[in-house]
Amino acid sequence: MRARALRNFGVMAHVDAGKTTISERLLFLTGRIHRIGEVHHGDTALDHSDLERRRGITIGAAAVSVTWDDHQLNLIDTPGHVDFAVEVERSLRVLDGAVAVFDAVAGVEPQSESVWRQADRHNVPRLAFVNKMDRPGADLANVVDELRTVLGATPAMVQIPVFDDTTMVGVVDVISGTRWRWGSTDPEDVTIDDLGGPDDRALAHQLAAARVELVELLAERDEALFECWAEGSAPLEEIRAALRRLTIAGEVVPVLCGSALAGVGMQPLLDAIVAYLPAPEDRPVLEGRDDTLTALAFKVGHGTGRKLTWVRLYTGELAAGDRVLNASTGTTERVSRLVRLDAGSTVDVDVLRAGDIGAVIGLGSTSTGHTLCAPESPVVLESMEFPEPVIAMAIEPRSNDDQARLSTALGRLTEEDPTFAVRVHPETGQTLIAGMGELHLQVLVQRLADDHRVEVITGAPEVAYRETITRAVEGVAYRLKKQTGGPGTFAEVRVDLSPTDDIRPGVLEFVDATTGGAVPKEYANAVAAGAREAMSNGPVQGYPLVGVKLTLVDGAVHPNDSSERAFHQAGALVLREAAALAAPVRLEPVMLVTIDSPDESVGAAVGLVGARRGQLRDVAESDGSTTTITARVPLAELFGFTDALRSVSQGRASASLTPDGYEPG
């Protein structure tokens, strides 16, 4: 493949913005499929699992490779529902670019903003596609304004819409002046021409103004284009080159528009992906490793009967039969097979090269976030961080046969999904599964049945609370002294405990401030380990303790009776004592709730929020008949909220929920 002929990109959006419909049209136009599937019919190529088709939503990221304009496009379609944000996170970690899809009526929705911020963190260049331009209430100017004001982007309008009365039927490319006009919902039923007839005067005037605005926007930020513009010329090639440079640098976001369901705007979107999103070599990750293997494992699956590890190669090559070093664990493994990902299936290949996204069969100990490299040239890439589960549910096997398979099934699911956790309740002995929301847990339970033939009985969902401290305490001492006739047990410690802002479970900030060898280093490390272990059971109600800094300030040892085990135990006990003295509180997860309600139901919706301990943030009229309500509501109050909202609005209001931190409660 010639240089710069590969694009790794994802499609991301708020749920129901139309990203899977867009992906389906792109697959059809590139010849990957020969019949366009529809989400509401449950026959799309990328939502390939039975569960996705039954629910009509994307649950797991799906990858497929297509060709357009002599370029290979590796496309990853990501979920839009907040419960499955992990799929967006790990996809953005390995992609070179993204298409962000926005609903022309709804604008920048909560999950739109969330995935945009995720892309910001990974410095992923983006195109924006404003979809559903054929719907009543579509407002392109408003979406562009929200890109600027809500997301902090610099939108660059590269198209203007073409209407037949009030129906959008085409677009005009602002740079070239080319008009695309579609005659039906078949995306291939298109006429391409230039403006020039007497009926085109108004559109030509609009095009001229849009082109001046685009060139000025780019020239302000690109020195090469500025020089051309200052001399009174701006050739098409220079404008496109400047737009590409600025897009890759993250300084501007090209904005396109259309209607995927109506087949409008898809070919220009493919052209823009090739023209403006980066090739792998435009986003170098490592210097000096052009010929040495470096790859990141970003997803694990078990759908083929054997473990399938998704990888992105940054440098070098990977061939079937190679031995690779997992630099994250220090283990060496053999590559049994290599495959390209093809929606719900795989295609065997002999080799993967730098820039490729594929999968490896045979890596038993490699997990999400691990780095694979040549054994003789180790390097560790930055790993990935994922949010902690916020909701839990008790499960038990329905039969003895299910009991035998449950442990293996849960192990595979936790390996596949970093936001899914399993633990045993210390008092009841119940198995608890935890995830990012009710839908997440419902899907996981269904996957136990569908993928692993395990039927379970579930309890009611419960909030995954945490505990923290609200003030510092100093000089808390604990002496562990036992004498039973033989060797004794002795450890003495004195600590300070203070709150921190890091409320991730299991994270303890530990400082050894002892002097003069009062506590040897190995014993100090044992204190930290014991304290960290004790954080799993907080002093208020036994929820995980988070957000604490433990400083070991003094201690004492016995020449015969002290041991790492003794100081480990002392560390756990002193932490519990100190935490109980530090004004501990329970923390509960809070969600940002965004409600779109018909005007006549606003009062009922606001009342529903207030009845559930919600804090109203804003009530803003979004168009002539719909009002948008935003509020912060404790997760514990949101069970059944959607059904209650439908009830008070006669089924016309909708809500979306996004995690928004923790608060005492």
Q: What is the pLDDT averaged over residues 119-127?
A: 92
pLDDT over 70 for what percent of the chain? 92
Q: What is residue 328's predicted lDDT score, i.e. its pLDDT?
A: 92
Q: Report whether pLDDT(477) > 60.
A: yes
Res 468 pLDDT > 90 = yes
* Helix, coil or strand: residue 406: helix
- Structure confidence at residue 20 (pLDDT): 82
User: What is the predicted pLDDT for the residue at 546?
Assistant: 94
Phi, psi of 295 (to 5 degrees): -145, 155
Write out the H or E segment, with its range, that includes residue 400: helix 400-416
Helices then strands, counting H and E runs in the chain, come out as 15, 35
List, in order, residues 6 or more apart from 521 with CB less than 8 Å away.
Answer: 512
pLDDT at 3: 46
Q: Is the pLDDT of residue 540 over 90?
A: yes
The number of residues in the chain equals: 665
DSSP string, 16-54: TSSHHHHHHHHHHHTTS-SS---GGGT--SSS-SHHHHH
Which range among 317-321, 327-331, 355-359, 447-451 shows the weakest confidence by mean pLDDT? 447-451
What is the model's pLDDT at position 508? 94
Q: Can you tell me the mean pLDDT for 618-632?
A: 79
Least confident of 411-420, 466-475, 506-515: 411-420
In the structure, what pLDDT confidence band is assigned to residue 330 with cuts at 50, 70 and 90? very high
At residue 83, does pLDDT exceed 80? Answer: no
Runs of H (alpha helix) within 56-200: 85-94, 110-121, 140-149
Q: Which residue has the higher pLDDT, 151 or 46?
A: 151
- Does the pLDDT value for residue 586 go beyond 80? yes
pLDDT at 473 (0 to 100): 96
Residue with tokens 């087949």: 263
pLDDT at residue 652 tops 70: yes
pLDDT at 96: 93
pLDDT value at 55 more than 80: no
Q: What is the pLDDT of residues 356-369, one digit of tens each?
A: 999 999 888 899 89
Q: Are 301 and 416 in contact (CB under 8 A)?
A: yes
Least confident stretch, 48-62, 92-106, 145-159, 501-515 = 48-62
Rounded to two decimals, what is the model's pTM?
A: 0.76
User: Per-residue pLDDT for 1 more than 50?
Assistant: no
- Residue 68 to residues 142, 260, 372, Cα–Cα distance (Å): 32, 18, 30
What is the rounded average pLDDT of the residues 516-520?
92
pLDDT of residue 2: 42
Position 81 scores a pLDDT of 66
Domains contained in the chain, CATH given:
6-282 (3.40.50.300), 294-373 (2.40.30.10), 391-464 (3.30.70.870), 467-582 (3.30.230.10), 586-664 (3.30.70.240)
400 pLDDT tier (thresholds 50, 70, 90): confident
Q: How confident is the model at residue 622 (pLDDT cuts 50, 70, 90)?
A: low
- pLDDT at residue 58 tops 60: no
pLDDT per position as a tens digit, 221-241: 999 999 888 887 788 999 999
Which of 84-123 are b and which e, b meaning 16 or more Cβ less than 10 Å from the residue's Cβ? bbbbbbbbbbbbbbbbbbbbbbbbbbbbbbbbbebbeeee
Mean pLDDT of 324-341: 92
Q: Is 516 left (phi over 0), alpha (psi -120 to 50) or beta?
A: left
Whether the per-residue pLDDT at 59 is higher than 80: the answer is no
Across the range 322-343, mean pLDDT stands at 90
**What confidence score (pLDDT) does residue 426 get?**
66
The answer to whether residue 342 scores a pLDDT higher than 70 is yes
Mean pLDDT on 546-551: 96
